[in-house]
Structure 1
Amino acid sequence: MKIIFTSALVLISVISGVSQEKAINYKELQKMLPSSIMGYSPSGDPDGSSFEMNGMSYSTAVQDYESGDSELTISLFDYQGAAAMYSSTTMAWGMGMSFEDDEQSAKGVDINGSKGWHVYQKEDHTSELMVGHMDRYLITIVVTEADQEKAIEIFKKLDLSKLP
């Protein structure tokens, strides 16, 4: 009986150690989006949402920006309470994958220790970047009418120190 009781205590402490904090509310995440960046100004109000179910949670905040004919979208996802979703999204990025054809080029990137996936659509000059940050956040940048490295340049200008 003592072995079963001890095993139950160990199991409970393991489960407790696995439980995660909740993602921050989307309204707080929206405050972390830049008011303007690299000549891009917001077009409209930010969007966002928070989701919670069975101890899992995530939040999103999205802002669209404009600069001339170029459009920019920055999305922040907080996967603090959904580690499995975060891990499955970012797992392959550090494996050195790359792809190129006549329409696009795609490759894994490492930006200041944050792993990501960068895609450049050659025909419509769209630079897309997804970066995993602090094993919690997923930052997505999509910019149209841009050169190949524009999304990476914008990512480097984000003030990520505001993220908890």
Structure 2
Amino acid sequence: MGLLLKVILLGMLFLQTMIIRTPSDNNTLLSPDELARLLPARLEGFNLIEQNKGRMIQIGTLTYSMTERGFSKSKRKVTILLFDYNNASIMYRQATGKWANQVSEDNEIRKQGPYPFEGGEGWEHYDKIRNYSQLFLGVHGRFYLVLTGEGIGMEGLYAICNQLNASSFPPLSHAVADAKHR
């Protein structure tokens, strides 16, 4: 009986470590399905090609979630990736920190530089020859949002970004005493 009780207790402990915290917890990590609800279900002028490809990723003590959604129309394609780094702030800093050292440029080949928006910081990149555009956004010190447009100029990607209303995403919440958040 003692061995059975130990096995049950160990199983319960294992399950507790695998449970994603609910939004009422102090250290909330959104599931891929919850992240998908932050993305538009449709974009005007495009057809949905990928409803939701999401997953939870754990690297050592760091855990984050991500989701992806794609749209297309003729030869134009939009891909939206959204990461929740609430429990992996070092990953967020690595993703957004490189922008401070990047050089802005605007020439006949490309345009790239900071992209300011309400609720965070960003970087834009546009390959003028291939008509390939990207916006990288850091939102509330927590979310990393990547919008990619193939056959879409920056103005089109800006319009899609405005539909997301990223400034309304949930704020950062974590246990400051936890070393992985420093």
TM-score bucket of the superposed structures, by smaller chain: 0.7 to 0.9
Q: Which residue of 2 aligns with 1:48?
A: 54
Question: Structure 1 pair 45/157, CA: closer, same or farther in 2 (3 Å)?
Answer: closer
> Residue 121 of structure 2 aligns to which amino acid in structure 1?
K
Please give the alpha-carbon distance, in whole angstroms, between the structure 2 residues aligned to 1:159 and 1:108.
18
Are the aligned partners of 1:94 and 1:115 in contact in 2 as well (CA < 8 Å)?
no
Please state if 1:156 is matched with 2:159: no
- So what's the TM-score if we normalise by structure 2? 0.70
Please state if 1:118 is matched with 2:113: no
> Residue 123 of structure 1 aligns to which amino acid in structure 2?
I
Q: Which residue of 2 aligns with 1:105?
A: 111
Are the aligned partners of 2:125 and 2:134 in contact in 1 as well (CA < 8 Å)?
yes
Q: Which residue of 2 aligns with 1:26?
A: 32
Q: Which residue of 2 aligns with 1:135?
A: 141
Q: Which runs of 5+ in 2 are unaligned?
A: 1-25, 172-182
Q: Which runs of 5+ in 1 are unaligned?
A: 1-19
> Residue 64 of structure 2 aligns to which amino acid in structure 1?
Y
2:85 alignment partner, SS class: strand
Question: Structure 1 pair 89/44, CA: closer, same or farther in 2 (3 Å)?
Answer: closer
Identity, % of aligned pairs? Answer: 23
Please give the alpha-carbon distance, in whole angstroms, between the structure 1 residues aligned to 2:102 and 2:149.
23
Please give the alpha-carbon distance, in whole angstroms, between the structure 1 residues aligned to 2:58 and 2:72.
32
Q: Which has the higher strand share?
A: 1
Please give the alpha-carbon distance, in whole angstroms, between the structure 1 residues aligned to 2:80 and 2:36.
11
Q: How many correspondences in the alignment?
A: 145
> Residue 41 of structure 1 aligns to which amino acid in structure 2?
N
> Residue 124 of structure 1 aligns to which amino acid in structure 2?
R
Question: Structure 1 pair 88/38, CA: closer, same or farther in 2 (3 Å)?
Answer: same
- So what's the TM-score if we normalise by structure 1? 0.77
Are the aligned partners of 2:119 and 2:140 in contact in 1 as well (CA < 8 Å)?
no
